[in-house]
Amino acid sequence: MNLLTNNEINLIAKICGYREVVDWSIQDFSNKVMGYLGDHLKLSVQVKEEGIRSEVRLFIKCMPRDPWKSEYLKELTFFKKEYVMLSQLFKKFENQSGLKKWRPNLIYIRDDLFVFEDVTETGYSMPSHVETLTYEQLTATVQALARFHAQSYIYEEKKSEELNRPFRIWEDYGDYLKEPQKGEEWRIAGRNAVIDFLKLHSKYKKELNFIKDLEEILPLVFNKANSLITPSSTYRNVVIHRDIWSNNIFLKKIGAVNYHALIVDYQTVLYTSPMVDLSTLLYLNTTKDFRNNYTTDFINVYYNTLAEELKSVEVDINNILGKPSLIDLYEESILFAVTQASIIVPIIALFSETREKVFADPESSKRFSTDFRSDYFIEAAVESKNYRDRVSELFDEIVERYVYPKRYN
């Protein structure tokens, strides 16, 4: 596997503080990662310093080695997005050390390959994708999210001062912070799967004209949700991640119950309301009861962390986004969050064998991306009550909120 040259390895070792490379190797990541927005590998570099040998372990994300996946990813522009963020914009965002850190350190970058520190070497791990996050895990993730968002505001404030005029990130990076047209196929396939699943498993399926209502209303709901991932002309926007679920979070236990979180994989970034990220995070990783009980807590965690980050560089949060506005924005963003979660959660919760079968084969992967997704979800619901309950609860919330809002809210 010749993904890197000896010269690149020597440069990587030098960046890590070592002058002599003895040997190096690349292996597949030990755990299979869902999806196909990049291949994930382990890089091991044997180094020597003052006669003492040691090993530097790093993490590689690269373009898929499967030709179809690679071509599809190029069409989506997702890898290009992340390359521009990491190589340009995020270099202007501060990633502090210790508990202020919000993403792993980037060591080396090409337009087809990124080398990061391997945070599993320092005690971080991904949470389980089959379980929702705990209160403490979410607290840490929301704090990391707020620190990430703070950097958008801080950069814009500094740049505005330099230019002596209001500056917004969209001016320089708008082309990379849009939803790719190709991505709409994915959302349409997901929407159709929601409709097909609800016809069979919704607790509201006996409602008069239920199927007709689904087929007429849900396409409109999903289309309206898309309007929430464009820049707002009313409120300050930030660069949002948009896809913070278990595979994009690393957690490290701090003390008896607390955690520190790092957020990874920025290939789906957009420029819009920060609450789109917070609400989507909650809908991807919690149950309805959990959200009903604790959403206010996490809005407060977000606001307080954001205020603290801004205050550290003498920026008043009230000049950016007041608390009442934040709450209003959260409520508005739920439309995108619940529809986005309805596309992603059924995939997250699929059996490992099913996911591997889908994404390992180019043809099934392609068909899954553009259509024919419903059968997998319906089959999983028949085989697992836990799967059926989790997905049904989420899908039925869409029915309650947007199909029959006067009847069930």
pLDDT digits (tens, 9 = 90+) for 219-258: 999 999 999 999 999 999 999 999 999 999 999 999 888 9
What is the per-residue pLDDT for 75?
Answer: 73
Full DSSP string of 348-396: HTS-HHHHHHHHHSHHHHHHHHHS--HHHHHHHHHH-HHHHHHHHHHHH
More confident residue, 37 or 53: 53
Average pLDDT over residues 320-336: 95
Confidence of residue 77 (pLDDT cuts 50, 70, 90): confident
What is the per-residue pLDDT for 369?
Answer: 67
Task: Please determine, for residue 61, whether its predicted confidence score (pLDDT) is greater than 70.
Answer: yes
What is the per-residue pLDDT for 266?
Answer: 96
What is the per-residue pLDDT for 28?
Answer: 85
Give the integer Cα–Cα distance in Å for 289 and 250.
25
Average pLDDT over residues 363-382: 78
- For 58, how many CA atoms within 13 A lie in the half-sphere containing its CB? 27
What is the per-residue pLDDT for 367?
Answer: 67
What is the CB neighbour count within 10 angstroms for residue 146?
Answer: 23
Q: Which of 126-135, 155-164, 296-305, 347-356 has the lowest mean pLDDT?
A: 347-356
CA distances, 334 to each of 157, 223, 401 (Å):
28, 14, 10
The answer to whether 64 and 39 have CB atoms below 8 angstroms apart is yes
304-313 confidence digits (pLDDT tens): 999 999 999 9
HEC sequence for 177-226: CCCCCCHHHHHHHHHHHHHHHHHHHCCCCCCCCHHHHHHHHHHHHHHHHH
Tokens of 311: 């205050």
What is the per-residue pLDDT for 31?
Answer: 53
Confidence of residue 71 (pLDDT cuts 50, 70, 90): confident
Tokens of 246: 């278990």
The answer to whether 330 and 275 have CB atoms below 8 angstroms apart is yes
Tokens of 295: 């959403």
What is the per-residue pLDDT for 34?
Answer: 46
End-to-end, the C-alpha distance of the chain in Å comes to: 56
Residue spans of beta strands (DSSP E) within 106-203: 106-110, 113-117
Confidence of residue 366 (pLDDT cuts 50, 70, 90): low
More confident residue, 72 or 206: 206
Residue with tokens 């707002």: 232
Tokens of 296: 């206010």
Task: Please determine, for residue 368, whether its predicted confidence score (pLDDT) is greater than 80.
Answer: no
CA distances, 326 to each of 4, 9, 246, 318, 329 (Å):
45, 46, 25, 11, 5
Contacts of 310 (CB under 8 A, 6+ apart): 150, 153, 154, 316, 317, 320
Average pLDDT over residues 49-77: 84
Domain boundaries, the chain: 1-70+104-122, 71-103+125-408
Question: pTM above 0.85?
Answer: yes
CATH, range 71-103+125-408: 3.90.1200
Across-strand partners of 239?
A: 271
Task: Please determine, for residue 159, whether its predicted confidence score (pLDDT) is greater than 50.
Answer: yes
Average pLDDT over residues 116-145: 95
